[in-house]
């Protein structure tokens, strides 16, 4: 390869190379640059005339030289090298994903230099990431669907078996008192079946809504609304609810979903209260970049997260043995928060209480009052 005279930019091969968006450079066996096309400016902010015959590859690469060195040595040993890496833009505004090929220039069995070809594959990487994200979502939805189908099948089979047994016993029982008791059992089965169908219907309705339409809403106003809804229960349990939410923060949320989310967390804080102390619930907000975090802390029973963290937001998972626990509240709440573009964090300790952190998109960022 004869590129030492490429200061002459009128050469056809140089003009062709300068039309390419990929960066092409040639480095001799002393690691001195002997050719560079115009794309070096957009990739590294260095024009070819400052490189050819003046700059070594370690000067050109700077802090990246240490990472690239093994590939350079591999090429000088006669092996073509291929690798990917992210390269910062010259203006510092971001990075480009590059597919890099370093080829040895071999003449009569001797490596005289190496040719580096650097192609921008950012769009391909973004597409690859989108495909991975889509596959992850599809996999999650398939798992949810399978889980839902298994639960429906199990529940219906259980009710059908119980109903069949009770009807069989009722048909052969002559004692009026026993028949009355069996009829009561049948009524309980019917009532529980209606509750199960209603719960499953709620889950289906939430999933059918898909991604919730969002609008700017005042977070504190919805907390106040829910506290009024729970006023009777708060008074009955002797609970203290401390609302330290910044009254000026607005978030992007679906009003119906937001009300449901706040209601479920606060209702749970009262439902799973500790038997030896009155409930204490504290609500605060925190600004984290473009997100508003709603913190809800309680001093209730707490949850053994080492044991149950992976089940916490699953369907029909309960942890304290409460008779009125359905096991679908946190499942629906998680779906609602995620459909609004948020997510939930949780810390808990048995006998001490639970701290839920609900992350929302932020419409306006207001400073928290002192």
Question: What is the sign, positive or negative, of the torsion defined by CA atoms of 317, 320, 321, 324?
Answer: negative
Tens of pLDDT, residue by residue over 230-275, are 888 888 899 999 999 989 899 998 887 888 889 889 988 998 898 8
* 8 Å CB contact between 350 and 301: yes
CA–CA dist 165, 118 (Å, integer): 73
Tens of pLDDT, residue by residue over 168-183, are 888 898 899 988 988 8
Please tell me whether residue 3 adopts helix, strand or coil conformation. Answer: coil
Given pLDDT bands bounded at 50, 70 and 90, which one contains residue 74? Answer: very high
CATH level 2 (architecture), domain 12-120: 2-Layer Sandwich (3.30)
0.85 surpassed by pTM: no
CA–CA dist 259, 221 (Å, integer): 10
Tens of pLDDT, residue by residue over 186-210, are 888 887 777 667 656 665 666 665 5
Tens of pLDDT, residue by residue over 350-365, are 888 999 999 998 865 4
Long-range contacts of 230-238 (CB under 8 A, 24+ apart): 230/263, 230/266, 230/267, 230/270, 233/267, 233/270, 234/270, 237/270, 237/273, 237/278, 237/279, 238/278, 238/279
Sorted by where each begins, the domain ranges of the chain are 12-120, 134-209, 211-370
* CATH 3.40.50.11310 for the 211-370 domain, yes or no: no
């Amino acid at each position: 390869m004869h590129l030492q005279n490429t200061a002459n930019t009128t050469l056809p091969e140089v003009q062709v190379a300068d039309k390419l968006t990929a960066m092409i450079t040639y480095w001799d066996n002393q690691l001195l640059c002997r050719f560079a096309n115009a794309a070096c400016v957009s990739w590294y902010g260095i024009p070819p005339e400052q490189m050819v015959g003046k700059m070594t590859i370690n000067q050109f690469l700077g802090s990246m030289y240490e990472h690239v060195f093994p590939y350079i040595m591999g090429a000088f040993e006669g092996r073509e090298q291929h690798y990917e890496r992210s390269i910062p833009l010259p203006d510092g505004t971001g990075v480009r994903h590059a597919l890099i090929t370093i080829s040895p220039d071999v003449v009569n069995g001797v490596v005289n230099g190496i040719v580096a070809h650097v192609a921008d594959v950012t769009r391909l990487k973004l597409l690859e990431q989108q495909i991975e994200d889509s596959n992850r979502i599809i996999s999650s939805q398939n798992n949810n669907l399978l889980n839902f189908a298994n639960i429906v099948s199990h529940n219906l089979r259980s009710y059908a078996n119980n109903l069949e047994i009770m009807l069989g016993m009722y048909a052969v029982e002559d004692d009026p008192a026993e028949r009355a008791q069996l009829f009561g059992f049948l009524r309980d089965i019917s009532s529980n079946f209606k509750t199960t169908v209603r719960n499953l219907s709620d889950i289906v309705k939430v999933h059918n809504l898909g991604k919730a339409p969002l609008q700017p809403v005042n977070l504190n106003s919805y907390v106040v609304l829910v506290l009024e809804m729970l006023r009777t229960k708060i008074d009955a349990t002797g609970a203290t609810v401390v609302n330290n939410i910044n009254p000026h923060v607005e978030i992007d949320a679906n009003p119906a979903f937001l009300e449901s989310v706040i209601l479920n967390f606060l209702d749970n804080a009262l439902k799973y209260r500790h038997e030896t102390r009155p409930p204490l619930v504290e609500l605060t907000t925190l600004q984290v970049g473009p997100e508003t975090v709603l913190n809800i802390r309680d001093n209730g029973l707490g949850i053994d997260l080492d044991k149950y963290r992976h089940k916490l937001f699953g369907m029909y998972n309960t942890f304290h043995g409460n008779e009125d626990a359905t096991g679908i509240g946190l499942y629906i709440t998680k779906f609602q928060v995620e459909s609004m573009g948020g997510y939930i964090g949780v810390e808990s300790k048995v006998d001490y209480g639970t701290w839920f952190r609900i992350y929302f998109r932020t419409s306006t960022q207001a400073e928290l009052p002192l």
